[in-house]
Structure 1
Amino acid sequence: MSQNRQLAAIMFTDIEGYTSLMQHDEKNAIEIRSKHREIFKSITAKYNGELIQYYGDGTLSTFKSSIEAIKCSIEMQRAFLEAPSIPVRIGVHVGDIIRTESDIIGDAVNVASRIESLAIAGSVLISDKVNDQLRNQKDIQTQFLDVFDFKNVDTTIPVFAIVSEGLIVPKLSDISGKTKEKKDKSFKEKFSVILGVLLVLIGVIAVYYNSFYENELAKIKSIAVLPFENMSNDSDSENFTDGVTEDILTHLSKIKDLQVISRASIMQFKESNKLNSEIAKELGVTYILDGSVRKYNKQIRVNAQLIDASNNEYLWAENYDKTLTEIFEIQSQVSNEIAKALKITLSANEIKSLNKPPTDNPDAYGAYTEAQRFLNRGAGKDEELKIAEGLFRKAIELDPKFCKAYVGLADTFLEYIYWGRKPPKEVLEKALGPALKALELSPEEGGSYGALGSISFYRFEKETAVSHLEKAININPNYVGAYDKLAWIRLFEGDINEAVRLFEKIVELDPLSTKNIANIAFSHYYFHQYSKGIAVLDEALRKHPNDNMLLWMKGNLLSGNKQYEEAIKVFNQRTESPNNWMLGYSYAKSGQKNKALEILNYQLEKSEKTYVPPYMIATIYMGLGETEKVLDWLEKDFESGGLGLFFWGLKRDIKFDSIRDEPRFINLLNQIR
């Protein structure tokens, strides 16, 4: 008998309770089996599956792709569930099989059969190996059930359920199948013991890891562009030098195979006396680029050197003597030389992007770099944003084809929204024009897609936002802002693991920003995992005990956990916003109504003079239990455009649980796409 070995996805299906049905209603049982086979045959063919055999009320089939097998199983279950429904169980595993002329055999077949035996009608269960192959399939979600010890299977198998509209996810109490009799505790009960062992192992590994840290780090192609030293005496030379640093950093960020630390983190080392090796370790990078800029009249000299931080060895160095109009040529040459020194092969698109000057007008460039300085200060002060806005407009006036200036103008408008300075709806209209103009001028500029993605985010247009943001990251794989918006979208979809992964990626790119650490912690708020979030913040507060962002996030998590007195203490440790809306909410929930009313009245009076996001006032009313006023102010917030991520979060925010059945609140949630 001929046979061959191959890797395949194996699917078992069967009709639950079919034997009993056959005994009591043979005609109906035959009709059900006929429908089962008809659906199975047509959908399996659609996904390139191969039927190996029918057996009574079940089937055995194989697929060349795990993804196709799962998509097939989802579509089949939905068809089986349509009236008159058929109670079908499905199990899928991937592994090595031996193929004969009429059958397949092997351990993988046995495992697939055992997994199917655990399923209940309407569910699709899969092994961990299949789950691993689905990790990048954003349209297929799974849920871990437990680890099972199957009969005639040597190793334990983690089992997951497919989560999809219409499909059923079994509860552990509903599961029974071909497993060995448990002689000890379940996997979850044993986990604490396993964890203890792992912690010991981690301790041993940590000691070992420290011994070869420097060597391993050298394998990672990551770089920090330290602020170049200003060697000039001109009044505007400091700003010009910072602009050179930032543009080299931006150029390098476009290289896919190079992880580049963001501006926010590297600017903290301006005029620092720390050794390069210390800075590299703090930022988690392998390489350091530093240098100096001397500007005199229309001439400039730029000195740059690339250093391997693990041994302080100079890998490349160069001096450039150019005119101001040739500054972009220097930035392109530096980026290309670094890629060459690090043995990074640039794609055609990367070469084109690195060698394309943003403008040929030095004055426009000067206005742009000064605008960036005000935009990137990070405090969101209205007066600074207005200065940035004016300077970006000046750069555009001097060079109407200056794409990055349009992106900068759009980003400035978006900052007004982030900090709650102006009504989102009003500002988004202003941001859209320059963002679209930037895209028209340069479709290969990641910032154009980033701005458009942020605009769609603030408009609650999820699919469009994701599309734009992913394009931005594809063009610029070090784009912190795009990762940030994607992380919040994934969080509000309910995927905390993906959200935390994206936030952790942001921390890799911007490791010294407490805002990003705070966001990781705050993501746990929306899943009621307050202790996890507080633990993250406490660790960060040990290094930054007076950081206002960290303290604010901790106060939020404490309030979510109903620790209102503790939240009040934390909010009052902050050095800004004594009339903060979350402090007002916490006062109200703790029974200190007079203090809550003081803050509420302050915010109401302020709202008559300037823009105050209505969401904030609604939150204080929520603490006071005034439902109608909460709904009034939330509706005002939505009419003004909705306060960014807070309005997105209404679906998950514990503060609003008591009004979830209110028709007006339901109507608001239905308008958030």
Structure 2
Amino acid sequence: LSQFWQELKRRKVVRVITVYAAAAFVILELTDIVAPSLGLPEWTLNLIIILLVAGFIIAAILSWIYDINPQGEMVKTEPSQKVKEEEQPTTSNGWKITSYISFLVIIGFIVFQVIAITDKSEEIPILERSIAVLPFEDMSAQQDQEYFCDGIAEEIINSLTQLDSLKVIARTSTFAFKNKQEDIREIGKILGVSTVLEGSVQKVGNRLRITAQLINVEDGSHLWSERFERELEDVFIIQDEISEAIVDKLRVKLLGVPGEITIHRQTENIEAYNLYLKGRFFWHRRTVDDLLKSIQSYEQAIEIDTSYALAYAGLADVYHIMSWRGYFPREEGFEKGKTYAYKALSINKQLPEAHSALGGILTWCDWDWTGAEKELLQAISLNPNDANAYQYISELMSVLGRNKEAREYINLALELNPHSMMMYNLSGLYYYNEGYYEKAIEEAKKSLEISQSGWPLLRLYRSNIRLSHDQEALKYLKEIISIDFSIDSREVIDAIFLESGIEGIIEWHIQWLQKKESSDFFFGSMNRNLTIAVSYGLLGDSQQALTSLEKAFEAGESGLPYINTGPNFALLRDNPRFKAMVNEMGL
């Protein structure tokens, strides 16, 4: 063994291996550092490791067989017994220096990694940087502090979004747990966070007693808690004071860095602010009546404070949603929304809510893809925790066929708003468009677990048809028609299925859609012709699909920009009439 080791040293195999190991170590470390920023696939590091291992074997073999003489020529190494003692090559200084440098490089990188790991552990000792702020519970005897409770939670959410590297769950998801007696640890796991903030408000006479506690999701322990007692003389000042105090405490606890957080309320009038909160409350419920109440609340807030930019942005959002869903005349509604968005930005150019609303309107109303992307990216840069902005830009990316970006943005939206029916529905749509029908079904089911809606049911119906799961498709069609309580056609479609199979069911569904009232949200004026066109596409009837699409185009149905992506109209892609519609939209 000793002789073999001496032979390895004589042939410089040991030196070559040392230098090779140092170089390989440097390559692996650099790859690990630069791969994320370059967007390299996850398997890149594994491929490099395989190549380096193969190179190691080749280098060892070549160094055993060959050597480089003092003249820089490659020569074959003779066996030791053939080399006389006096002819034994001397060790070159170059090899020595190279070996020493290689050894120092390896030691240096190891020290660097140890320091980096130590710094990281000191920066985040226990907790991942993520939090969900639950709505504060109204403990008052009169139960009349609901909007104050909601306002406290919303102010804290808005303030926490200013902290770098902190994931803050969106209001939609956290408020889904309002008035629900569920274990905090379970809520935290559902929302995907490491900490949860909860609190309560109690009004006694002319005093407010407010408590807040920060809870570790892993074990349910209290990381911090505090009680505030204030006079009710100025609710606005109280709200600011408490929100700032809590945010300051949370910043120290979660990030380990003390500092001030500025709360940008946009108005100094408590009545206008409470009306804005009401507008947001009704907007999140999304029914026709609630959206109309939302408009009323925002308009009342603006009457009180004409420079209230957030209220204008709220109106832009409402008209955007109502116009898209067919609750309001499309062109008039989108134009109103755009006007209010620009008004909000004329007051405050740095208002992310206004940029987000405008980006959505430019997407679905003006088909201004460049302008929409600019506005939505601006909204995200101003508030990286704005789940709605990520949702809107994911829709835009999907329309433009930029599927990878659409997936990345909707995943970010779901991280921030993991209890959103609409976001899971869109995630399912993007899987469907790329032909991943099983995944589309999974996402649609998640959406239905949150809220019963026609959109995920349609996704389940169509995805199962694409997979030839006819019985499953039939089951979901029955659930779709059950939304309309005025009819019961289940026995009819069972008979049609037995006689004509899934093709007969699709034809029946088309006839059912054609008879629907135009005021119906899911199956009425919003996208009725477009939905019929998709059904004809499932049947492979290109002529009828094209005719229905042209009707949808004439009616200005909201979902038209989606026609150039996904499988629904693949059979029409080369048709000149279809191309004309796509070109008209600038796609």
Separation in 2, partners of 1:633, 1:288 = 50
Matched with 2:250 is 338
1:430 is aligned, of 336, 339, 353, to 336
Structure 2 matches for 1:494-533, cutoff 5 A? 494-533=401-440
Partner of 1:246: 154
**1:411 shift after superposition:** 1.0
Please tell me whether residue 667 in structure 1 is matched to residue 580 in structure 2: yes
Q: State whether structure 2 residue 394 is matched by structure 1 residue 487.
A: yes
Separation in 2, partners of 1:455, 1:545 = 25
| Structure 1 counterpart of 2:311, from 405, 418, 429 | 405
Q: CA deviation at 1:317?
A: 1.9
| Greater per-residue strand proportion | 1
- Of 446, 468, 474, the residue aligned with 2:381 is 474
Deviation string 1:274-308 (CA, Å, 9 cap, x unpaired) is: 33233222322122211112346876443322233
> How far off is 1:257 after superposition?
2.3
Residue among 154, 166, 187 paired with 2:55: 154
SS in 2 for 1:281: helix
CA distance in 2, matches of 1:254, 1:572: 47
Is 1:325 aligned with 2:236?
yes
Across the two proteins, how many residue pairs are aligned to each other?
A: 477
Using a 3 Å threshold, how does the CA distance of structure 1 residues 387 and 504 change in structure 2: closer, same or farther? same
- Going from structure 1 to structure 2, the CA distance change for 1:392 and 1:217 (only over 3 Å counts) comes to farther
Offset, 1:546: 6.8
In the TM superposition, residue 525 of structure 1 has moved relative to its aligned partner by: 1.0
Decide whether aligned partners of structure 1 residues 550 and 628 sit closer, same or farther in structure 2, where only a CA change above 3 A counts.
closer
User: How far apart, in 2, do the equivalents of 1:446 and 1:541 lie?
Assistant: 27
5 Å matches for 1:104-115?
A: none
Query: Which of 440, 445, 464 is the equivalent residue of 1:558?
Result: 464
In structure 1, C-alpha distance between the alignment counterparts of 2:387 and 2:554, rounded to whole Å: 30
Q: What secondary structure is seen at the aligned counterpart in 2 of 1:655? A: coil
Partner of 2:503: 590
- Letter matched to residue 275 of structure 1: D
Provide the C-alpha distance between the structure 2 equivalents of 1:310 and 1:107, rounded to a whole number of angstroms: 40
Q: Deviations over 1:94-114 (max 9, x none)?
A: xxxx9xxxxxxx999x9xxxx
Q: 1:397 to 1:266 in 2, by over 3 A?
A: same
Q: Shift of residue 363 of structure 1? A: 1.4
Distance in 1 between the 2:38 and 2:341 partners?
Answer: 35
Could you tell me how far 1:131 is from its partner in structure 2?
7.0
- Per-residue deviation, residues 583-640 of structure 1 (Å, max 9, x unmatched): 99x9996124762354133236658998443423444555577756644543453455
User: How far apart, CA to CA, are the structure 1 residues paired with 2:162 and 2:53?
Assistant: 52
Contact 1:289 1:306 (C-alpha < 8 Å) held by counterparts: yes
Task: Give the superposition deviation at 1:500.
Answer: 2.5
CA offsets 1:178-197 (integer angstroms, 9 cap, x no match): xxxxxxxxxxxxxxxxxxxx
CA distance in 2, matches of 1:300, 1:545: 36
Structure 1 pair 537–374 and aligned structure 2 pair: CA distance change class (3 A): closer
Inter-CA distance 550–402: structure 2 relative to 1 (3 Å threshold): same
CA RMSD of aligned residues (A): 4.2
The 3-state SS of whatever aligns with 2:55 is coil
Partner of 2:38: 134
| AA aligned opposite 1:602 | K
Letter in 2 for 1:485: Y
After superposition, the C-alpha distances for 1:132-154 in whole angstroms (9 at most, x for unaligned) are 55329xxxx9999x979889962
Q: Counterpart of 2:228 in 1: which secondary structure?
A: strand
Counterparts of 1:47-126 in structure 2, within 5 Å, are: none
Shift of 1:438: 1.3
Answer 1 or 2: which has greater helix percent. Answer: 2
Distance 2:42 2:194 in 1: 36
Q: How does 1:365-404 map to 2 (within 5 A)?
A: 365-377=273-285, 380-404=286-310
d(CA) in 1 for partners of 2:547, 2:205: 60
Is residue 159–residue 263 contact of structure 2 (8 Å, CA) maintained in 1? no
Q: Which residue of 2 aligns with 1:314?
A: 223
**TM-score (normalised: structure 1):** 0.62
Q: CA deviation at 1:495?
A: 4.1
SS of residue in 2 equivalent to 1:273: coil
- Structure 2: any 5+ residue segments left out of the alignment? 1-18, 58-123
Partner of residue 651, structure 1: 564
1:576 to 465, 473, 483: 483
SS at match of 1:591: helix
Q: Which amino acid aligns with 2:267?
A: T
Rounded Cα–Cα distance in structure 2 between residues aligned with 1:517 and 1:220: 24
Residues 565 and 590, structure 1, Cα contact 8 Å, conserved in 2: no
Q: 1:246 to 1:542 in 2, by over 3 A?
A: closer
Summarize the Cα distance change of 1:421–1:631 in structure 2 as closer, same or farther, 3 Å threshold.
farther
Once the two structures are TM-superposed, the CA of residue 576 in structure 1 deviates from its matched residue by 2.1
Identity %: 26
TM-score, normalised via structure 2 length? 0.70
Q: Is 2:552 the partner of 1:637? A: yes
Q: Return the offset for 1:511.
A: 1.9
Question: Tell me, which stretches of 5 or more residues in structure 1 are unaligned?
Answer: 1-97, 99-105, 111-126, 157-215
Change (3 A) 1:297 1:659: farther
Q: Please give the secondary structure, in 1, of the residue aligned with 2:504.
A: coil
The answer to whether structure 1 residue 615 and structure 2 residue 530 are counterparts is yes
Query: How far off its partner does 1:432 sit?
Result: 0.7
Contact 1:600 1:620 (8 Å CA) reproduced: no
- Could you say what secondary structure the match of 2:199 adopts? strand
Match of 1:414 among 279, 301, 320: 320
Q: Hey, what's the Cα distance between the residues in 2 that align with 1:605 and 1:360?
A: 43
Corresponding residue number in structure 2 for 1:14: none
Residue number in structure 2 paired with 1:222: 130
**Aligned-partner SS, 1:340:** helix
- Residues 330 and 570 (structure 1), Cα distance of their counterparts in 2 relative to 1, 3 Å cut: same
Q: Are 1:293 and 1:300, in contact at CA under 8 Å, matched by a contact in 2?
A: yes
Task: Note closer, same or farther for the CA distance 1:637–1:597 as it changes in structure 2 (3 Å cut).
Answer: closer
Looking at structure 2, the residues matched to 548 and 607 of structure 1 have their Cα atoms a distance apart, in angstroms, of 11
Q: Say which is worse superposed, 568-577 or 472-481, in terms of deviation.
A: 568-577
Is the alpha carbon distance of 1:238 and 1:457 closer, same or farther for their aligned partners in structure 2, counting shifts above 3 Å?
Answer: same
Query: 1:566 Cα shift?
Result: 2.9
Whichever residue aligns with residue 484 of structure 1, its letter is Q
Tell whether the 8 Å contact from 1:375 to 1:384 is kept in structure 2 after alignment.
yes
